[in-house]
Chain A
Amino acid sequence: MQLPASAKEIDTRTTGLRATRPAAASHARLWKLVGLILTLIVAYLLPLGLSNYQAFEFTQVFIYAIALLGLNILIGFNGQFSLGHGAFYALGAYTTAIMTTRWDIPYGWTIIVAGVLCLIAGFLFGLPALRFEGLYLALATFALALSTPQILKYFDNWTGGSQGIVLDKPSVPLGLPINADQYLYYLTLTVLLLLFLLAWNLLRGRVGRAMMAIRDNPIAAEAMGVNNALYKSLTFGVSAMYTGIAGSLGALAVAFVAPDTFNAFLSINFLVGSVVGGIASIIGALFGAAFIEFVPIYAQEISRAAPWAIFGVVLILFMYVMPTGVAGLLHRVLERLTRRPSKESSADNVVATSPAPADPGASSPARAASGKHE
């Protein structure tokens, strides 16, 4: 523990360290980059070989993925729970439905407005939510989910009551040689890529570290100078914004909104997707979305009588085989392939080593921090 004699010595040690690492790390980065580029090429060529219905299914996956990413940012990276994100999905959906049908506002703008509205709504909801922790927050948000359909019906001169609102499907712009379903596919895919990039930026730096620090140990985070209240409310806002944009796109894709599609089950479904995909992961949102889109459909094909029983069995199997979600498994496989000895520091890697603590609010480090006294 002797101090190095001079600053110069510090430098050589530091660079010495960096020199020993990169081989494996850059190897992994290369793999990831190649994987990403290939995936993108496939994703952009795919609709040309799909039926309209299949293209629609993938569109739905992308939409869910955006919603789930919002949830992952909140639960996985910040340790706040929500069983009520269906409400923000609904807010985004109705924003677009009302703005396009009533005021003839181009749908592109309504997506942005939906995002901003949900950002504000989420931030405001996040403020009182600061008082709740862990399971209590889950219950408070669940109350939001339960009341959403009723609230929508209550404001029926805006929302059309239980009849809902029928939207126009966005028409293909610029005379592109694709059909409306393919266009929606490309639209949602592009929005998804943009939002995933923003999330990756947000999570891999100072802000992301502070969010995770709050999740791991709120008292220590605050002692480091993190403004917990502000970060948690803003994270709630960002999370709601993602889910709201997904809702807006969902309204466009389905071309119809009605209160009962935004019931509590939707919120729970989001949570399922989030956990299955890998809760503290960006890419996990895509796997989770595929799960909640496709597994119910296949379950229906296997058994018309009891599709949810089959869904449940598949879900349990998934959690058994991949307790840290698909992203966690993927991360471990990638790590083995590139044989890295230790964890590298990046937002996406947290997932493999440890999912968010089940009860972040009341986790023991928080108590340890204030001394030994409970």
Chain B
Amino acid sequence: MAANDVILAIRDLTVRFSGIVALDGVEFDVERGKIVGLIGPNGAGKTTLFNCLSRLYTPERGQILFEGHSLLTFPRHKIAKLGISRTFQNLALFPTMTVLENVMLGAHSRTKTGFFRHALRLPPVAKEERFIRDVAMESITLLGLEHLADHLASGLPYGTLKRIEFARALAGAPKLLLLDEPAGGLNHEEVFQLASLIQQVRERLKLTILLVEHHMNMVMQISDKVVVLDFGRKIAEGRPSEVQRDPEVIRAYLGDRI
């Protein structure tokens, strides 16, 4: 793997919502195999950036290059197949379906039998179903959710629901994983476990991870690089140790108090 193998390049990304500029000329690279932390105060534009990558929002200006292809030429439903999976800050599970079924949806983009073949249950269907189930079980096991496989993906603790989303994202065998505040709802001990899980998953599955998280210790501990947003602008980028000392970053975070 080349030292400078860029999997995701963001250029001049600008998003405006009636009046406010949610992203303002943001530029940075994500190198393959790295964990990149994306931080910033509330409303800085982190989730907006994820939503651009998922094609939920179309930027007013700028480019997003994933493995050299412009993401902006793909419709929403093609993103997963390209190799980008995500979790959602405020959860987007399928609440009337079981945990297993939720995670099986994660493998949807890796399979292709359609209406006709399913209605007639033609041979490829059984094979694909087995594949989907195996992939999902593996992912569920990885996240320690086996005992909940047949439970509905609702009425469970927030942290558990977050883990189900994590498992579902992994079932898509992504190259790039977008985690939007995965530590939400976890206690101190669990945050520590999650951090090591993310690192292990990266190692094991050869993933690249873009991590949005307010848990500063965790971000600084596991990120290879940190990008800091404030009011839609990138105000810093670099190794965790550098970013932590950056005066502008300190001002952004402590602004009101100085």
Could you list which residues of chain A lie within 8 angstroms of chain B, going by C-beta atoms? Answer: 1-4, 10, 13-14, 17, 21, 198-199, 201-202, 205-210, 212-213, 215-217, 219-228, 234, 238, 280, 342-345, 350, 353-354, 365, 368-372
Bound CA span A238–B115, Å? 9
A212 near B97 with CB under 8 A, answer yes
Task: Say how far B77's CB is from chain A's closest CB, in angstroms.
Answer: 5
Task: Say how far B66's CB is from chain A's closest CB, in angstroms.
Answer: 15
Task: Say how far A135's CB is from chain B's closest CB, in angstroms.
Answer: 20
CB-defined contacts of B118 to chain A, threshold 8 Å: 201-202, 205-208
- Apart from A223-B76, A225-B172, A280-B96, what 11 extra A-B contacts exist at CB < 8 Å? A1-B143, A205-B113, A205-B118, A209-B108, A212-B101, A216-B95, A220-B88, A225-B77, A225-B109, A344-B98, A368-B88
CB-defined contacts of A21 to chain B, threshold 8 Å: 150
CB-defined contacts of A14 to chain B, threshold 8 Å: 137-138, 141, 146
B158 at the interface (CB under 8 A from A): no
| Interface segment, one of B23-31, B32-40, B46-54 | B46-54
Task: Say how far B16's CB is from chain A's closest CB, in angstroms.
Answer: 14
List, sorted by A's number, 22 A–B pairs whose CB atoms are closer than 8 Å.
Answer: A1-B144, A3-B204, A13-B146, A14-B137, A199-B119, A201-B121, A206-B111, A207-B113, A212-B97, A213-B105, A215-B96, A220-B92, A220-B105, A222-B77, A223-B54, A223-B79, A280-B96, A343-B98, A345-B100, A345-B101, A365-B91, A365-B93
B115 near A212 with CB under 8 A, answer no
CB-defined contacts of B147 to chain A, threshold 8 Å: 17
Bound CA span A2–B200, Å? 9
A217 near B119 with CB under 8 A, answer no
Q: Give the secondary structure class of A's interface.
A: helix
B146 near A201 with CB under 8 A, answer no
B172 near A10 with CB under 8 A, answer no
B71 at the interface (CB under 8 A from A): no
Bound CA span A170–B94, Å? 47
A343 near B150 with CB under 8 A, answer yes
Task: Say how far A8's CB is from chain B's closest CB, in angstroms.
Answer: 12
Task: Say how far B79's CB is from chain A's closest CB, in angstroms.
Answer: 7
Instruction: Identify the closest chain A residue to B203 (Cβ).
Output: A3
A226 near B92 with CB under 8 A, answer no
CB-defined contacts of B80 to chain A, threshold 8 Å: 223-225
Bound CA span A220–B180, Å? 14
B88 near A213 with CB under 8 A, answer no
Which of A208, A224, A227 is within 8 Å of B172, CB to CB?
A: A224
Bound CA span A213–B97, Å? 8
CB-defined contacts of A220 to chain B, threshold 8 Å: 88, 92-94, 105
A228 near B77 with CB under 8 A, answer yes
A224 near B150 with CB under 8 A, answer no
Chain B count of residues within 8 A CB distance of the other chain:
66
Which of B95, B104, B150 is within 8 Å of A209, CB to CB?
A: B104
B108 near A216 with CB under 8 A, answer no
CB-defined contacts of A280 to chain B, threshold 8 Å: 96
B86 at the interface (CB under 8 A from A): yes
B125 at the interface (CB under 8 A from A): yes
Instruction: Identify the closest chain A residue to B122 (Cβ).
Output: A201
Instruction: Identify the closest chain B residue to A13 (Cβ).
Output: B141
B151 at the interface (CB under 8 A from A): yes
B149 near A17 with CB under 8 A, answer yes
A1 near B194 with CB under 8 A, answer yes
Contact with A along B78-94 (1 / 0, CB 8 A): 11110001101111111
CB-defined contacts of B141 to chain A, threshold 8 Å: 4, 10, 13-14
Q: Give the secondary structure class of B's interface.
A: helix
CB-defined contacts of A343 to chain B, threshold 8 Å: 98, 150-152
Which of A222, A228, A350, A368 is within 8 Å of B90, CB to CB?
A: A368
Bound CA span A226–B107, Å? 10
Could you list which residues of chain B lie within 8 angstroms of chain A, going by C-beta atoms? Answer: 47-48, 51, 54, 56, 76-81, 85-86, 88-98, 100-101, 104-106, 108-109, 111, 113-115, 118-121, 125, 128-129, 132, 137-138, 141-144, 146-147, 149-152, 163, 168, 172, 190, 193-194, 196-197, 200-201, 204
A198 near B119 with CB under 8 A, answer yes
Instruction: Identify the closest chain A residue to B106 (Cβ).
Output: A224
Instruction: Identify the closest chain B residue to A370 (Cβ).
Output: B56
CB-defined contacts of B152 to chain A, threshold 8 Å: 343, 353-354
Most B CB atoms within 10 A — which of A199, A225, A227, A365?
A: A225
Bound CA span A216–B154, Å? 12
Bound CA span A251–B231, Å? 65
Bound CA span A180–B100, Å? 49
A219 near B120 with CB under 8 A, answer no
Which of B108, B125, B196 is within 8 Å of A226, CB to CB?
A: B108
B149 near A216 with CB under 8 A, answer no
CB-defined contacts of B129 to chain A, threshold 8 Å: 205-206
Task: Say how far A192's CB is from chain B's closest CB, in angstroms.
Answer: 15
Bound CA span A222–B86, Å? 11
Task: Say how far A194's CB is from chain B's closest CB, in angstroms.
Answer: 11
Bound CA span A359–B147, Å? 32
Which of A1, A2, A10, A354 is within 8 Å of B95, CB to CB?
A: A354
Bound CA span A2–B114, Å? 37
A219 near B142 with CB under 8 A, answer no
Given contact pairs A14-B138, A225-B108, A368 touches B91 in the complex (Cβ within 8 A): yes
